[in-house]
């Protein structure tokens, strides 16, 4: 396995692990991972990470590149959806000060760093695997 494949493999494994790490902490009570926040979307990210691992192991550059870009896109969309969910979850409360207070009680956790680092690392491995042509 070349170094670029190993970097991509490490990125996809990091993404697999990141789906189980805490990303949100509502009301300082419990930690939510990707599956607690949105289970179908979490399963989709997990499936893309598994396809990326398989593409890396079998040295399929196109599949690995597609999985890396798709995983980064899905993580960005998940982040945007989490922001929208936090800021619209308490919109039914008629008092804006209470609504803002409740929205501030939902905190982001360290799992987001892993969720973004995994696809970025996979993309770094894909971009470093480009072959140069010899003349």
Q: For every one of its 135 residues, what pLDDT tens digit does the chain have, with 9 covering 90 and above?
A: 688 899 999 999 999 999 999 999 998 889 999 999 999 999 999 999 999 999 999 999 999 999 999 999 999 999 999 999 998 888 888 888 998 899 899 999 999 999 999 999 999 999 986 655 455
Name beta bridge partners: 108.
Answer: 24
Confidence (pTM): 0.88
Structural domains counted in the chain: 1
Token couple for 78: 């998940």
- CA pair distance 15, 11, nearest whole angstrom: 6
Is residue 135 assigned to a domain?
no
What's the pLDDT at 3?
87
Q: Can you give the pLDDT at residue 2?
A: 83
Rounded-to-integer distance, Cα 49 and Cα 83, Å:
23
Domain with 92 in it: 3-127
- Do the domain assignments include residue 132? no
126: phi then psi, degrees, rounded to nearest 5: -70, -45
Does 65 reside within a domain?
A: yes
């Amino acid at each position: 396995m070349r170094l670029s494949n190993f970097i991509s493999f490490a990125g996809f494994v990091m993404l697999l692990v990141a789906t189980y790490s805490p990303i949100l902490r509502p009301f300082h009570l419990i930690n939510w991972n990707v599956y607690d926040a949105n289970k179908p979307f979490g399963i989709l990210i997990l499936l893309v990470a598994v396809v990326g691992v398989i593409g890396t192991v079998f040295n399929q550059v196109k599949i690995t590149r597609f999985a890396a870009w798709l995983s980064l896109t899905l993580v960005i969309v998940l982040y945007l959806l989490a922001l929208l969910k936090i800021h619209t979850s308490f919109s039914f409360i008629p008092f804006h000060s209470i609504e803002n207070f409740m929205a501030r009680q939902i905190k982001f956790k360290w799992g987001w760093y892993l969720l973004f680092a995994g696809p970025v690392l996979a993309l770094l491995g894909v971009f470093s695997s480009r072959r140069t042509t010899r003349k």
